[in-house]
Structure 1
Amino acid sequence: MTNSLRPNGDRRAPLPPAQSPADGVPSPRSPHSTQKKQNGKQRDAFFDNAKYLAIVLVAMGHAWEPLKGDSRILEAAYQVVYAFHMPAFILISGYFSRSFDMRPDRLKRLITGVAVPYIIFETAYPLFKRVIDNDPHQEISLLDPWYLTWFLVALFIWRLTTPIWNLVRWPLPLALGLAMLATVTPEIGDDLDLQRVLQFLPFFVLGLVMKPEHFHMVRRRSVRIASVPLFAVALAFSWWAVPRMNTAWFYHRDAAQELGAPWWTGPVMVLAMFGCSLVLTACFFAWVPRRQMWFTALGAGTLYGYLLHGFLVKAGDYQGWFEASWLHHPAGEILVTALAAAVVTVLCTKPVQRMFRFAMEPKMDWAFKKDAAELARERQGAERREREPEKVNA
């Protein structure tokens, strides 16, 4: 699963430049880094592996939620996973947003790849609840993200503000300051899930300021070895903290006062959770394979797995699938965990992507004006095609 058995030992292979593959700029090939060309774009196996493994952890965490009940061990594992799975995913999103600007083609991709899927799934989830849960009163609101769609709202806002974070002198301290202020401001309310947008913001900004060498640092053999006892300590501490700590802190969706805590604990928890999440995220990255794996190609479809698996989790919740007593024993919990990993894996595959591309990655060329540069390229191409027959006749 790792590169620790390579003869090169700790020799570090170069990671791709910060530009997102979506920008159409292929990263240079390297004999030490496993890259694959997909849809004419260069991808890096490390990041695709990390995204896939993170989305599997997301699905597992959602499957554990209705099962954990009074299980202290499962609750402890749940807290540890929630401490780093979304921070890791958000950090990668920030890293690949470094080159985002207000260029028309990038704004178009932001609208079609984030805003439109948000509108579709923010409508689909409440409709699904009306049908499956027989709840005709379930409202549809584009201002109040429902279940998983908060991430699309957050990503849209974060990416739009990227030029600002690339401009200011101290982006990460500023982002942490905003997150700390959010935790003492319950008046923010639920509109666009701004509490989560602001409290998770530091992880996105950290991704913006990271460089390839930072990922090299966590790939060292010493870090991989140290990550094992660190995860063990995290699990032990979480087991101790289960009866003493409100799990809602890991969701980053409430102010301190809404959790029944003194206001000053909000800023303290932001810094404490940020530090713990960074340590566990580094441990997670340390064990992410860099080479091509059987699941590497699935990393390109993680948003499909993220948004689609929610329907199955909610269907199980509405229909009482998780209420069977045998599921609340170790064997049942292991089975549900394996099923969650298998289902989200299937939802990341190419056939599923082709089936739901209309909702996740619509082209929508009809909705956008062509920019001047694109029109100029088309004119040049037409003129070139017109001249070619003249050369052939000559």
Structure 2
Amino acid sequence: MTGSPQSPPERSAEQTMALRLPKQPKAPKQRDAFFDNAKYLAIVLVAMGHAWEPLRADSRAVTALYMFVYAFHMPAFILVAGYFSRNWDGRPDRVRRLITGVLVPYVLFQIAYTYFLRRLDDNDDNYLPLFEPRWLLWFLVALFIWRLTVPLWRTVRWPVPLALALAAVATASPTMGGDLQLQRVVQFLPFFVLGMTVRAEHFQMLRRRAARLLALPIGAAAAVFAYWAEPRMDYAWFYHRGSAQELGEPWWAGVLMTLAIFGCSVLLTCCFLALVPGRHGWFTALGAGTLYGYLLHGFLIRGSVEWGWYDGELMENTPTALLISSVVAAVGISLLCSTPVQRLLRPVVEPNMRWFFRPDEPKDGSNGKGDPQVKTPATAHPASTAP
């Protein structure tokens, strides 16, 4: 004996409408204000450090402050860049992002800086050193190379010790050439690899109240130590661009200084990140434009020296000169990171270049209309590309 078939349960009006309505696209992932704040504050320190360079010769205090800031501002940038690069796998859309967001801006600004510096120096040399990064452009070369090596660091068992060993060897080696500034690429590498290995909970630990309370006395002690160390060590160690022999030291000093500076820089970077606010502020949006500020502020810094901005009577007093240069650098870099500047120079700093790349192949081969489907290249968090 068989029972009568059961009728399907009736759907409510809400369920019926839900089935008929198309699926809504997922909301875009919100940016983390903490990282944008960290990038903005770090780029301000970069600009200030460059603005202090003409004042170093006349003041031990300025040089000590310069050493203190240089110990962590670029390591902080590089660590954050490594954190956002940890999933880089060579996927086509990520390769496109690497080319358009790093390689192309390097080539364009290498040309621009070459001719700008020639005008300042009144030099008509036609040689374009494409593989000798001009001043601050070394970071784009390094980021391009580091990003390509991400799969390697994700494979080895001890990535940070291995990267640190390579940096120590580079610091002890006087034979590494100047092309692409490979000394800096290798010596800063441990900070990038360290950023790849940290997790979100590590940043959460740094944002605790206890970490913030410890950051202030540790930072103050480091600043005092920098004042003591200023006449006893060469601040060029923090540039990471030369070997120990080039700094007048034996090779083994390069190994020891690599380890010591790495530990010092990581500690101060943690202190810096602990003091970075996690909430949205008036400057949070500027953190998305740090690449613009980084690439553009060099023209103002180098030009200000040649144009005699440091030669006035007001700049003869060191404390006054330090205050003025710091304020001007902070305001200037903020303007260069602003939205109007981003909109104006996006074709140069972040070109789309869809004409240059082949479209991605969709999984089903069509978009439902018999036409090839073209995907828009995914965009990475700017922290993965920019300072």
- TM bucket (normalised to shorter chain) is 0.7 to 0.9
Which structure: larger Rg? 2
Secondary structure of the 2:71 match is helix
Equivalence for 2:164:
176
Counterpart mapping for 1:69-80 below 5 A: 69-80=57-68
Which of 213, 217, 220 is the equivalent residue of 1:225? 213
The 3-state SS of whatever aligns with 2:72 is helix
Q: Deviations over 1:314-364 (max 9, x none)?
A: 111222322334314211220110000000000001100011111111011
Which residue number corresponds to residue 16 of structure 1?
none
Deviation for aligned residue 1:373: 2.8
Structure 1 residue identity aligned to 2:84: F
- 2:98 is aligned with 1:106: no
> 1:267-291 CA deviation, whole Å, 9 max, x = no partner?
1001000000011111101110000
Q: State how far apart, in whole Å, the 2-side matches of 1:136 and 1:118 are.
A: 22
- Report deviation, 1:138: 7.0
Structure-to-structure mapping, 1:188-267, within 5 angstroms: 188-267=176-255
Does the alignment pair 1:87 with 2:105? no
Q: Is structure 2 residue 321 aligned with structure 1 residue 311?
A: no
2:354 counterpart residue number: 365
State the partner residue of 1:22. Answer: none
Following TM superposition, the consecutive aligned residue runs of length 4 or more in structure 1 with deviations greater than 6 angstroms are: none
CA distance in 1, matches of 2:362, 2:157: 32
Query: % of aligned pairs identical?
Result: 57
C-alpha distance in structure 2 between counterparts of 1:137 and 1:318, whole Å: 19
Verify the 8 A CA contact 1:68 1:328 in the aligned structure 2. Answer: no
TM-score by length of 1: 0.85
Question: Gapped runs of 5+ residues in structure 1?
Answer: 1-24, 27-36, 386-394
Which residue of 350, 355, 380 corresponds with 2:367? 380
CA distance in 2 between partners of 1:221 and 1:42 (Å)? 24
Code of the residue aligned with 2:344 in structure 1: it is M
Of 293-302 and 211-220, the range deviating more from structure 2? 211-220
1:7-45 deviations in Å (ceiling 9; x for gaps):
xxxxxxxxxxxxxxxxxx98xxxxxxxxxx8xx552100
Residue type of the partner of 2:283?
A: F
Cα deviation digits, residues 209-235 of structure 1 (max 9, x gap): 000111111112111111111111111
Tell me the equivalent position of 1:44. Answer: 32
Q: Output the CA distance in 2 between the equivalents of 1:298 and 1:323.
A: 31
Q: Distance in 2 between matches of 1:195 and 1:109?
A: 25
Q: Matches of 1:263 and 1:132 in 2, distance apart?
A: 37
CA distance in 2, matches of 1:58, 1:43: 23
**Partners of 1:67 and 1:327 within 8 A in 2:** no
Residue 328 and residue 244 in structure 1: after superposition, are their counterparts in 2 closer, same or farther (change >3 A)?
farther
1:119 CA drift (Å): 0.3
- Aligned residue for 1:286? 274
Farther off after superposition, 220-229 or 279-288: 220-229
Q: 1: distance between equivalents of 2:48 and 2:127? A: 28
Work out whether 1:341 is the aligned partner of 2:324. no
**Equivalent pairs, count:** 347
TM-score by length of 2: 0.86
Residue 164, structure 1, aligned to residue 157, structure 2: no
Measure the CA separation in 2 of the matches of 1:246 and 1:321.
27
Cα deviation for residue 75 of structure 1 reads 0.7
Residue 55 of structure 2 is aligned to residue 67 of structure 1: yes
What is the rounded CA distance, in whole Å, between the counterparts of 1:371 and 1:190 in structure 2? Answer: 38
Q: Distance in 2 between matches of 1:129 and 1:67?
A: 21
Which structure 2 residues correspond to residues 150-161 of structure 1 after superposition, within 5 A?
150-161=138-149
The alpha-carbon deviation at position 193 of structure 1 amounts to 0.5
Classify the secondary structure of the residue corresponding to 1:314: helix
Which residue of structure 2 lines up, in the alignment, with residue 14 of structure 1? none
Partner Cα distance (1:169, 1:68) in 2:
43
Would the aligned equivalents of 1:126 and 1:138 in 2 still touch at CA under 8 Å? no
Aligned residue identity for 2:338: T
Opposite residue 331 of structure 2, the aligned amino acid is A
Can you give the 5+ residue segments of structure 2 that lack an aligned partner in the other structure? Answer: 1-24, 373-387
